[in-house]
Amino acid sequence: MPLKTPAFWYRNASRPASLPEVALTPLSWIYEAGRKFKTAKTIMESVEPPVLCVGNIVTGGSGKTPVVAAIRKLLRSQNLAKDPFILSRGYGGTLPGPLLVDPARQKFSEVGDEPVLLARDGPVIVSRNRLEGARMAERSGADMILMDDGFQNPSLKKDLSLLVIDGPSGLGNEKLLPAGPLRETLREALERTQAIIIIGSDERGVEQKIPPHIPIFSASVKPRQIPDQQKKYIAFAGLGRPEKFQKTLEECDLKLVAFHPFPDHHPFSGADIEKLLQEAKNKNAVLITTEKDWIRLPEDGRNQIQTLPIALEWSDPERLTDFLCKELENLRGKKVKPP
């Protein structure tokens, strides 16, 4: 059962630690030791197509999914890849894979919500074993593998790793799980990172912690269309940081009469939706949620709930394109022929 993100995870590191945070710190040491042990004993293997990893070092809420979608779009538009396959673990799904996701046939409960969303625009392979999933993509004709997460997975060699960081929340309290949101320290992660992507304004000063040789690219999440601003809305979301969705709605100048956060990847029940629909009726409001949350709604309730489609906008797309062209040209010179 997914849990809500603890508030103390995103305490500003300059403020005193809370009691739960202090109490959980010894468990962070155990977590770190276990992660390093697992990494050390795993043999890393590679595949023929270049592997581009879009990952993070925090648990949930960094914005990887829109970044992955935007990178795939850029790769295609610039002819950097003709047939890029997205590789996902399929978090929240029951099927271990490897399998090619069919969004018209498979449910989020089988393959996860993000793969279903991403598969609407191209091939997505779900596999808990990342190496086996990459091999399936290779056999299926992929000329590039775009990993959605997996930055800490040691089994598959990454040729290019982009680290995604949410600007407003940064690295939170900068502590490892479970005392904080970090899967590993920034110092360790930077040793395997070729570029940083910061989404939104850098309110935590992350840029100052990045060495000069690692390029930083900025982006922001923007609605693809603005809902009717004359109506009243009740919003809900089950995300790592649902308050980000609330902020986006407020920036659209919508009349938000209520907002309901749910745990990350929450599987909405009929009772959940019935309660929300009743509230919307009482307040003469429209229910609105994210595209990713909409996938997890009961099918008989979807037509009564509006979504806010979003897309990632790069602050300097030409600079990012130049970076990817150069890096991928170098990789293909070593691995495969250009598309």
The pTM (predicted TM-score) of the whole model is 0.91
Same fold, 51-221+313-334 and 225-308: yes
Give me the CATH code for the 225-308 domain, please. 3.40.50.2300
What's residue 36's pLDDT?
93
Residue-wise pLDDT for 38-57, tens only, equals: 999 999 999 999 999 999 99
What's residue 334's pLDDT?
62
CA distances from 145 to 12, 39, 46, 138, 139 (A): 36, 22, 11, 8, 12
pLDDT at 326 over 50: yes
Residue-wise pLDDT for 78-108, tens only, equals: 999 999 999 999 988 999 999 999 998 999 9
Per-domain residue ranges of the chain: 51-221+313-334, 225-308
Residue-wise DSSP of 293-330: HHHTS-GGGGGG-EE--EEEEESSHHHHHHHHHHHHHH
CATH architecture of structural domain 51-221+313-334: 3-Layer(aba) Sandwich (3.40)
Residue-wise pLDDT for 228-282, tens only, equals: 999 999 999 998 888 889 999 999 999 999 999 998 889 999 999 999 999 999 9
Report the alpha-carbon distance of residue 29 to residue 154 in Å, rounded.
20
